[in-house]
Structure 1
Amino acid sequence: MDIILAERRIKELTEQLEYHNNLYYNKDDPEISDYEYDKMLRELEELEKQYPQFKSPLSPTSRVGGMAGEKFSPVVHTVPLESLHDSFSHAEMRDFDRRVREVVPDVTYIVEPKFDGLSVACEYQNGVFVRGSTRGDGITGEDVTDNLMTIKSLPKRIPNAPEFLEVRGEVYMSFKSFEELVKRQEDNDEKPAKNPRNAAAGSLRQKNAKITAQRKLDIFIFNVQQVTGTELKSHRQSLDYLSELGFPTSFYKVCDTIDEALEQIEQIGNSRGEFDYAIDGAVVKVDSFEARRALGSTAKYPKWAEAYKYPPEEKATKLLDIEINVGRTGVLTPVGIFEPVLLAGTTVSRATLHNRDFIEEKGICIGDTVVIRKAGEIIPEVLSVSEHPSDAKPFVFPTVCPSCGSPVVQDDEAATRCTNTDCPAQLMRHMIHFVSRDAMDIDGLGPAFLEQLLKEKLVKSPADLYRLKTDDISAFERKAEKSANNLINSIQKSKDNELYRLVYALGIRNIGLKAAKLLCEHFLTVNDLMNAKAEDFESIDGFGSVMAQSLENYFSLESTKQLIADLKDLGLKMKPSEQKISGGVFEGNTFVLTGTLPTMTRSEASKIIEQNGGKTSSSVSKKTSYVLAGEEAGSKLTKAQKLGIEVISEEQFLSMIDK
């Protein structure tokens, strides 16, 4: 490669890696596999060695990719959380061994599995867990103590503990928990998590620890970062010590030669399919801490450790057929049916083909031989067509719904949808969502029983659940009257759920639990929601045009109006629990909130206004009484000033309450 091409390629790789770093570390939404990323990084390393004059001072080869996010408090790591250098072949591992033995001729290695999760540090004072943080850029991470507290396998108190202990671990999501999460997301027509690693990272960085707790995260502890009160001389000794203290640790093997280490690497690779967690490689570490100090570190990597990365396993198989599944919001999803093939330890015979555009772009036909792999070692995906026989049949996407026969349409999101809101397939998934834990949380109404209720036409909409009687259930289920009574009580109890849970349970496209909560902070009743327009919804922080239009479309449907009316007549809560105080200090006044307030959130201020007789609006008009403005107030403040609306600070707002 000549010097001009080298400079261009180094710049191109640097920009691409920065882009993928941001997606992987900060947004938990990667576009390429770890293996593809690591190969790009290796290419950049080699080019920078040959042409150091073109290396950027902020090159991805010189620093860890992540950064501390803004929604958590920063934590400066006393001992840096270093990254590992990767090898992709036995020859590269032998080069690592040669470099080590130049400094430490009589070396002993520890070989461990490399977990595919999110690296964290956990600190203990006198045996009590006091703080946990993400790796971030290796120097500064994020304080995620509350979220780590939800991980059951992480000890919160350790016996016979040293005065101070900081350990490093890998937070992960088991395959079982990941499959449950993806199923919930697919049932709700949400964008499913791409792999367990990103699901774990996104779950750990939730602002609400209750959401993290629902994701069933786990952790392996694999290193002592620092300790006061005891002396450790080797990695082997530290791993045994961690295990004695009650930390969840993984298996390891002591190896005296690189050949033994390579043999263990292959053994771990061959057994990956036996574990309920993702392993993307193996790590070879120098055992002696004294030897590690002699070897030292580069700006990014320790010289005493090397990660061997396994390539993603790919297999070719024949596509036998394509089935269509209908989701809760009417999306038609094509699913490929393959000749069964063993992949990453399990037999694969099905994989989503996403949508019509995906099939057309890859030129997929029934009868083709396709190449598949498991994204994140768990979700099968089709990579390409490797053989296209002459008798292969192009797949014709249905023009009517396979469940109800109604016409289908393709929307702007490349999704094909059934136009019938009463479609049986949609109704089943809608009902499952309606009774789910985050929605109306009705115990005893599992998918199997719901399917029976729908089949026997005892239930045709969510409102029918509240019309069920004990006799209906006991006769239908052939269960004891007590069991039927318990289910009826659970259904009746759900009537008192908070309004946001009902809004979420309605299953509105693009509206998740967080969005439902925000809606109910800005609109006091369901009637307010039904009367709002897209521009009213879009004025809420975090709501874009797609979400806003989904809401307006949903609440304008006659079927929605009928469902809401039925639920209201049946006694479901249609407004928040907090009732406005008659004659309160803000009665008759309408507030618009904008910007960041010094000591409270806008939702907290809204509740105070509502509890004192006032109401809030999302937009400024001549009917607005006050605009409560904080830092970085935007267009609402400008409009208020133009209209001559009184603008008040948080301090003035609180003094009004005091008076």
Structure 2
Amino acid sequence: MSTAPGPAEATAASTETLTEPEAVPSGSVREEYENLVDLVRKYRFAYYQEDEPLVSDAEFDDLFRRLEEIEALHPELVANDSPTQEVGGEVSAAFAAVEHLQRMYSLEDVFSLDELEAWITKAEAGITKLGDTARPAWLTELKIDGLAVNLLYRDGKLVRAATRGDGTTGEDITHNVLTIKEIPQELTGAGFPPEMEIRGEVFIPSKAFAEFNEALIEAGKAPLANPRNAAAGSLRQKDPAETAKRPLRMFVHGIGAREGLETLSQSQTYALLEKWGLPVSPYFEVLGSLEEVLAFIKRYGDKRHSLMHEIDGIVVKVDDLATQRALGYTTRVPRWAVAYKYPPEEVHTKLLDIAVNVGRTGRVTPFGVMEPVKVAGSTVGMATLHNQDVVKAKGVKIGDIVVLRKAGDVIPEIVGPVLALREQQEPPVRDFVMPTECPSCGTPLAPGKEGDVDIRCPNARSCPAQLRERVFHLAGRGGFDIEALGWEAAIALTQPAEPDVPPLVSEAALFDLTHEDLANVRIRREKRSKGVATGEFELVPYFYSKGTAKSPSKPTATTEKLFKELEKAKTQPLWRVLVALSIRHVGPRASRALATAFGSMDGIRKASEEDLAHVDGVGPTIAAALKEWFAEDWHLEIIDRWAAAGVRMKDERDESMPRTLEGLTIVVTGSLPDFSRDEAKEAILIRGGKAAGSVSKNTSYVVAGENAGTKLDKAEQLGIPVLDEDGFRELLANGPAAATAGGVGPEDADESEDSAESEAALESEGVTE
């Protein structure tokens, strides 16, 4: 429900493609229209006045667009007080009402690039009709997901701050806004009008919001739902001292009343506002074409989760102020600005159940089972809840309507319940109770050690769920990279419906598998009729074809591929074998460091805890975990049987390899045509360098390929040399003296996540989608 400036009233939809209006609306159409009006008003009030949305932004937008569509078909239904004719919400009685000197508007929203192109084409045609034949410049900026605020300055001093309200009248929140340090109480410099309204967005930065929520959870309090509502709620606190505790910030993006101020463009105005000490967003550009605008949208869409604040779209404005004035306004939106909205990343859905998953190191993780819903481009039916303390802190109950968030490729997360809807749920909601016994093997659950929040199944050797997760993990991209061994195959190998004894009761036997071991493996699979699930299940062979009288059962093509990839996996380098062993805390980064330092599994096994801890990138926690793992006989059996089967347990060192990178720390970001991420890191390590995952003042070089983003930005800020692939090759071959910076590609390209770093930092024990 967000549009800059301020939270969204979804857009005025184009009516050009609609059918001809009916002469008289039918009773059903009139009834639908009246219901929509009531719903939009109800949801808008909850959003703006109570800061507790009853539906997601996407659901509200759909309702609002349908309302607009009916009004376009049946204009006789439209009343002056229709929600489509209004801006924002009502003014709360809890705060003094104040009138803006100049009206504040909402923005028209578009939800696809085609709609955006149509809007820009229409706007350019309107500009041409005004007699301006030059192509307009478009000021393009991020649409902050915050609360619209109007600042009134008289003689350079802040005298009042107000919410947007209904566009004409807002709520006086001056005392709360005064607690935001970066909003100047007195402007610097000179030349500002005697009376001026500054418009902008108050928000909570993403990192600060996460830290604030963590502190709330640690204190046993419910976390805040999202940064936008947190910002709005903060500015509506009765006690400014409470507002001051919230990490609020503001970016300004426009001017209302400003008699005597003469600037030619929006961008020139921004420069002036910044000169006067007002906080202006760094995320804007003046662009000359639709193609440049579309590139801006893609670039920030790709990197939206590495920005300072949450965004839900991009705002495009005519930069020239005279053209803005000539184009004017509708009753609700300016004709010179539009907001493109990215696909929603927060939706509402019903929490059907809370179950638990047992991970590869025994951690028991609650996860939500929900009515499937589309969010961030994919359909989601499960989402992590981390541990029992998080479930309690979030206050979610089975049967709640919950807010579900999925940011890009991040695991879906249940943010919290929609409390206003709890009493309406049938059947009534109920509490989640964490199990005391492992749901897979029945072993009593307990913390791994005193003080741990997470509880674990201690039956690591025999717990079927842990074995399944370990087998799935070892086949992953960071481990042996066995493409034919996915989630369902891991289940078939460790927990099939038939036979009673599965092919694998330990991962030790993985490389000893034969075709015969897999011939009779069957799993339960739902029957389908013409591609549609029937709800009936049957036992079917997994690794072999069903077979008939004329065509006997035989290994499937995927099974043959599995055996080929198992042979290929035996040649993987030592660090991948270490990852595949599922040693707690030992991810790709530590594995590479250990393989480089000791060269063999035997060397790592025999090393003292002190020697292990001294390896750069290992440390005492990982060292202790390694010694603990090697102390188990059944773990050693895995190593011995893999080695006997031909799995590589030692890296052959090339003593002739020059140590050209000794003492250097190098960060690789983006994609290089001739190096995979792992190959680039391997090349650095074997030449004596350190392959780091983040840029700091201690970084020697950054190697930037295509789609290199925030790491490249930071390198440039710190003045760290940046190399393209050719420069990287020179550095590898001849050391720093030969390396030359340059040719790094687009400066604002999106950041490619370091999957190895992410996997090292987090145990992949959560819910599998």
Output the TM-score relative to the length of structure 1.
0.51
Instruction: For residue 380 of structure 1, report the CA deviation from its aligned partner.
Output: 2.0
Q: State how far apart, in whole Å, the 2-side matches of 1:372 and 1:138 are.
A: 30
Contact 1:312–1:374 (CA<8 Å) still a contact in 2? no
Aligned residue in 1 for 2:26: 3
Alignment of 1:494-505 (within 5 A): none
Aligned residue in 2 for 1:265: 297
Aligned residue in 2 for 1:151: 180
Task: Name which one, 1 or 2, has greater alpha-carbon Rg.
Answer: 2
Matched, 1:193 2:224: yes
Matched, 1:283 2:315: yes
Instruction: For residue 96 of structure 1, report the CA deviation from its aligned partner.
Output: 1.2
Matched, 1:125 2:154: yes
Contact 2:225–2:415 (CA<8 Å) still a contact in 1? no
One-letter code aligned to 2:406: R
Identity of aligned residues (%): 35
Q: State how far apart, in whole Å, the 2-side matches of 1:262 and 1:145 are.
A: 38
Instruction: For residue 379 of structure 1, report the CA deviation from its aligned partner.
Output: 8.4
Q: State how far apart, in whole Å, the 1-side matches of 2:343 and 2:216 are.
A: 28
Q: State how far apart, in whole Å, the 2-side matches of 1:399 and 1:99 are.
A: 58
Q: State how far apart, in whole Å, the 1-side matches of 2:70 and 2:146 are.
A: 29
Aligned residue in 2 for 1:294: 326
**Residue by residue, what CA displacement relative to the aligned partner does 1:56-91 show, whole Å, maximum 9, x if unpaired?**
431111102312212222110111110001000112
Q: State how far apart, in whole Å, the 2-side matches of 1:248 and 1:19 are.
A: 34
| 1:196–1:314 distance in 2 versus 1, CA, 3 Å | closer
Q: State how far apart, in whole Å, the 2-side matches of 1:268 and 1:357 are.
A: 33
**Residue by residue, what CA displacement relative to the aligned partner does 1:105-154 show, whole Å, maximum 9, x if unpaired?**
33221110000000001122222211111111110001111111100111
Aligned residue in 2 for 1:165: 196
Instruction: For residue 361 of structure 1, report the CA deviation from its aligned partner.
Output: 7.5
1:138 to 167, 186, 202: 167
Structure 2 residues not aligned, in runs of 5+: 1-21, 129-133, 348-352, 359-364, 378-382, 417-429, 438-450, 454-769
Instruction: For residue 335 of structure 1, report the CA deviation from its aligned partner.
Output: 5.0
One-letter code aligned to 2:137: T
Matched, 1:227 2:261: no
Aligned residue in 2 for 1:28: 51
| 1:301–1:323 distance in 2 versus 1, CA, 3 Å | same
Instruction: For residue 195 of structure 1, report the CA deviation from its aligned partner.
Output: 0.7
Q: State how far apart, in whole Å, the 1-side matches of 2:49 and 2:225 are.
A: 15
- Aligned residue for 2:406, secondary structure, equals strand
Instruction: For residue 49 of structure 1, report the CA deviation from its aligned partner.
Output: 0.4
- Aligned residue for 1:111, secondary structure, equals strand
Q: State how far apart, in whole Å, the 2-side matches of 1:189 and 1:323 are.
A: 24
Instruction: For residue 337 of structure 1, report the CA deviation from its aligned partner.
Output: 12
Matched, 1:113 2:174: no
Q: State how far apart, in whole Å, the 1-side matches of 2:115 and 2:376 are.
A: 26
- Aligned residue for 1:381, secondary structure, equals strand
2:242 to 211, 214, 225: 211
Alignment of 1:216-255 (within 5 A): 216-250=247-281, 251-255=283-287
Instruction: For residue 226 of structure 1, report the CA deviation from its aligned partner.
Output: 2.7
One-letter code aligned to 1:179: A
- Aligned residue for 2:258, secondary structure, equals strand
| 1:337–1:360 distance in 2 versus 1, CA, 3 Å | closer
Contact 1:322–1:337 (CA<8 Å) still a contact in 2? no
- Aligned residue for 2:81, secondary structure, equals coil
- Aligned residue for 1:226, secondary structure, equals coil
Alignment of 1:283-432 (within 5 A): 283-313=315-345, 322=356, 334=366, 350=385, 358-359=397-398, 373-374=406-407, 380-381=413-414, 398=433
1:48 to 59, 71, 94: 71
Q: State how far apart, in whole Å, the 1-side matches of 2:76 and 2:114 are.
A: 28
Q: State how far apart, in whole Å, the 2-side matches of 1:357 and 1:68 are.
A: 31
| 1:166–1:222 distance in 2 versus 1, CA, 3 Å | same
- Aligned residue for 1:83, secondary structure, equals coil
| 1:396–1:214 distance in 2 versus 1, CA, 3 Å | closer
One-letter code aligned to 1:110: L
Contact 1:132–1:144 (CA<8 Å) still a contact in 2? yes
Contact 1:353–1:359 (CA<8 Å) still a contact in 2? no
- How large is the Cα RMSD of the aligned pairs? 3.9
Q: State how far apart, in whole Å, the 2-side matches of 1:201 and 1:357 are.
A: 22
| 1:378–1:244 distance in 2 versus 1, CA, 3 Å | farther
| 1:336–1:4 distance in 2 versus 1, CA, 3 Å | closer
**Residue by residue, what CA displacement relative to the aligned partner does 1:429-484 show, whole Å, maximum 9, x if unpaired?**
xxxxxxxxxxxxxxxxxxxxxxxxxxxxxxxxxxxxxxxxxxxxxxxxxxxxxxxx
Contact 2:142–2:311 (CA<8 Å) still a contact in 1? yes
- Aligned residue for 2:234, secondary structure, equals helix
Instruction: For residue 22 of structure 1, report the CA deviation from its aligned partner.
Output: 0.6
Larger relative helix fraction: 1
Instruction: For residue 196 of structure 1, report the CA deviation from its aligned partner.
Output: 0.6
Q: State how far apart, in whole Å, the 2-side matches of 1:262 and 1:43 are.
A: 27
Q: State how far apart, in whole Å, the 1-side matches of 2:36 and 2:369 are.
A: 37
Q: State how far apart, in whole Å, the 2-side matches of 1:219 and 1:183 are.
A: 22
- Aligned residue for 1:18, secondary structure, equals helix
| 1:64–1:293 distance in 2 versus 1, CA, 3 Å | same
Contact 1:164–1:229 (CA<8 Å) still a contact in 2? no
Instruction: For residue 214 of structure 1, report the CA deviation from its aligned partner.
Output: 0.3
Aligned residue in 1 for 2:115: 92
One-letter code aligned to 2:245: Q
Q: State how far apart, in whole Å, the 2-side matches of 1:264 and 1:80 are.
A: 30
Aligned residue in 2 for 1:19: 42
| 1:101–1:172 distance in 2 versus 1, CA, 3 Å | same
One-letter code aligned to 2:117: R
Instruction: For residue 190 of structure 1, report the CA deviation from its aligned partner.
Output: 4.1
Contact 2:354–2:367 (CA<8 Å) still a contact in 1? no
Q: State how far apart, in whole Å, the 2-side matches of 1:305 and 1:192 are.
A: 35
Alignment of 1:439-454 (within 5 A): none
- Aligned residue for 2:356, secondary structure, equals strand
Instruction: For residue 36 of structure 1, report the CA deviation from its aligned partner.
Output: 2.2
One-letter code aligned to 1:285: K
Instruction: For residue 334 of structure 1, report the CA deviation from its aligned partner.
Output: 4.7
Q: State how far apart, in whole Å, the 2-side matches of 1:360 and 1:198 are.
A: 23
Instruction: For residue 312 of structure 1, report the CA deviation from its aligned partner.
Output: 2.1
| 1:382–1:180 distance in 2 versus 1, CA, 3 Å | closer
Contact 1:22–1:65 (CA<8 Å) still a contact in 2? no
Instruction: For residue 168 of structure 1, report the CA deviation from its aligned partner.
Output: 0.4
Contact 1:176–1:276 (CA<8 Å) still a contact in 2? yes
Q: State how far apart, in whole Å, the 2-side matches of 1:216 and 1:80 are.
A: 29
One-letter code aligned to 1:322: V
Instruction: For residue 374 of structure 1, report the CA deviation from its aligned partner.
Output: 4.9
Contact 2:148–2:199 (CA<8 Å) still a contact in 1? yes
| 1:223–1:11 distance in 2 versus 1, CA, 3 Å | same
- Aligned residue for 1:212, secondary structure, equals helix
Q: State how far apart, in whole Å, the 1-side matches of 2:316 and 2:230 are.
A: 27
Contact 1:323–1:336 (CA<8 Å) still a contact in 2? no
- Aligned residue for 1:227, secondary structure, equals coil
Contact 2:345–2:407 (CA<8 Å) still a contact in 1? yes
**Residue by residue, what CA displacement relative to the aligned partner does 1:606-642 show, whole Å, maximum 9, x if unpaired?**
xxxxxxxxxxxxxxxxxxxxxxxxxxxxxxxxxxxxx
Contact 1:103–1:294 (CA<8 Å) still a contact in 2? no
- Aligned residue for 2:257, secondary structure, equals strand
Output the TM-score relative to the length of structure 2.
0.44
Contact 1:374–1:381 (CA<8 Å) still a contact in 2? no
| 1:260–1:398 distance in 2 versus 1, CA, 3 Å | closer
Q: State how far apart, in whole Å, the 1-side matches of 2:261 and 2:326 are.
A: 22
Instruction: For residue 104 of structure 1, report the CA deviation from its aligned partner.
Output: 0.6
Q: State how far apart, in whole Å, the 2-side matches of 1:143 and 1:396 are.
A: 40
